[in-house]
Amino acid sequence: MSSLQRHFLRRVVQGVGRERKSRWGLITERKMANVVNDGGDSTEEIVNGAVGGGGGVEDVYGEDFATEEQFLTPWAVSIASGYNLMRDPRHNKGTAFTEKERDAHYLRGLLPPAIFTQELQEKRLMHNLRQFEVPLQRYMAMMDLQERNERLFYKLLIDNVEELLPVVYTPTVGEACQKYGSIFRRPQGLYISLKEKGKILEVLKNWPERNIQVIVVTDGERILGLGDLGCQGMGIPVGKLSLYTALGGIRPSACLPITIDVGTNNEKLLNDEFYIGLKQRRATGQEYAELLEEFMTAVKQNYGEKVLVQFEDFANHNAFDLLEKYTRSHLVFNDDIQANNAYIFPGFGLGLIMSGAIRVHDDLLLAASEALAVQVEDEHFKKGLIYPPFTNIRKISANIAAKVADKAYQLGLASRLPRPKDLVKHAESCMYSPLYRTYR
């Protein structure tokens, strides 16, 4: 059996909580059990749990026919163990796996014997990052870390936010986008191009996470102050969402970066053999509008009315038009126009999510601004500061989120009921923690 078949089998057997037809059609377990591995374990062994010590009994009397259309979750298939566990960035802990975890999840021999705390791992990585003199090298090192150990990535970013924020976002992310094709290693986020016109809903369903709360989308036409970078603008949604998590506490699994590729007018990219996007002139007019309309409709259909869509780095003529068109029908905002500040947008987004807001009203943005202003104390003014210290950004975001949520409830825009008594504490309790979990 090929690796693709094995991967597909596991996804279907697990079911991920929903029945879904793939391009191979709905395959029953009995049909899958007839697929035999090329010189390895049979699919039947995998389904019955024989691989990995799960055990299994042959169905001599055909009693399993009654359940052959149901998705089952055999132990050996559903529990990530050993090699696969270490390559799952959401669950990998590297050398921080305990003795019990190494025994329980077949990690013996796959890791060196020393056991590090997350704090020691953080210390080592910060030491290594500081050895790089070129900012782009630090950026690439951080992206590599995000792809192999998600919690450690956010632990570093949260604990060293003033030092690492310029690495994962501006100004370094601008250079990364310019060279994105050359440094491309692994796709991050979802790419929707003109090729997908008419089937964007299907493309959205290819994303493995179903409970999406925040989407940051760009068409790459105005990336920072660098102009049209086309498909290579993906670094911006990826970076912006990492800030939503680190600064605003929104779960990484609830974040979806999207690049809409309608071409580029950048001659350098069109002639670049390593350019990862469509090599054609940028679509405009009706063709562009129809693609965006299909995208916005599909987002609402797939993720519901309360998913926050942030338009990012669209050219001004499109940015204002899109905001005006969809602000009454979707939960949308454009941080370049309305809240372009790392002090504001993470807490603003958290406030919308925790209240279940269905629309963005101007009063919500004013509430966020006022919440930031009241956190500037006299001692800050004496030091010449007009903002509170950025090292307290998570506390700042919690207070902003509480004020935004409060205003949403006042305006009748909130859908999460009953309203929490203490919105600040509720905001803090909603925040993602990067600390490692203990696996049984």
* Residue 336 labeled ligand binder: yes
Whose tokens are 């629309």? That residue is: 359
- At residue 208, the pLDDT reads 94
Burial of 136 (0-12, 13-18, 19+ CB in 10 A): middle
- Give the pLDDT of the chain (440 residues) as one tens digit per residue: 545 445 545 554 444 444 343 333 333 333 333 333 444 444 444 334 444 433 344 444 444 444 344 444 444 444 567 889 999 999 999 999 999 999 999 999 999 999 999 999 999 999 999 999 999 999 999 999 999 999 999 999 999 999 999 999 999 999 999 999 999 999 999 999 999 999 999 999 999 999 999 999 999 999 998 999 999 999 999 999 999 999 999 999 999 999 999 999 999 999 999 999 999 999 999 999 999 999 999 999 999 999 999 999 999 999 999 999 999 999 999 988 998 789 999 999 999 999 999 999 999 999 999 999 999 999 999 999 999 999 999 999 999 999 999 999 999 999 999 999 999 999 999 999 999 999 88
Structure tokens at 279: 């090599």
Which residues form the catalytic set?
169, 240
Instruction: With beta carbons less than 8 A apart as the criterion, state whether 360 and 333 touch.
Output: yes
- At residue 34, the pLDDT reads 39
* E-state strands within 143-296: 190-193, 214-218, 255-261
Strand, coil or helix: 308: strand
Encoded amino acid at 182, one letter: S
Structure tokens at 396: 């700042």
Fold classified for 174-325: Rossmann fold (3.40.50)
Residue 332's beta-bridge partner residues? 309
* Residue 335 labeled ligand binder: no
Domain boundaries, given as residue ranges, for the chain: 3-79, 174-325, 339-440
Helix, strand and coil content of the chain, in percent to the nearest 5, comes to 50, 5, 45
Domain 339-440, CATH class in plain words: alpha beta
Q: CA-CA distance, 188 to 204, in Å (whole number)?
A: 14
Q: CA-CA distance, 373 to 54, in Å (whole number)?
A: 58
- Same-fold call for 174-325 versus 339-440: yes
Instruction: With beta carbons less than 8 A apart as the criterion, state whether 312 and 220 touch.
Output: no
Please count the CA atoms within 13 angstroms of the CA of 134 that sit on its side-chain side. Answer: 6
- At residue 295, the pLDDT reads 99
| Residue 370: CB atoms within 10 Å | 13
Structure tokens at 76: 């050996």
Strand, coil or helix: 122: helix
- At residue 82, the pLDDT reads 86
Structure tokens at 81: 């163990």
- At residue 45, the pLDDT reads 40
Instruction: With beta carbons less than 8 A apart as the criterion, state whether 403 and 351 touch.
Output: yes
- At residue 81, the pLDDT reads 76
Instruction: With beta carbons less than 8 A apart as the criterion, state whether 69 and 28 touch.
Output: yes
Q: CB neighbours of 398 closer than 8 A, spacing ≥ 6?
A: 249, 347, 350, 424, 427, 428, 431
* Residue 68 labeled ligand binder: no
Encoded amino acid at 413, one letter: L
Nearest 10 degrees: Cα torsion 217, 221, 222, 226:
120
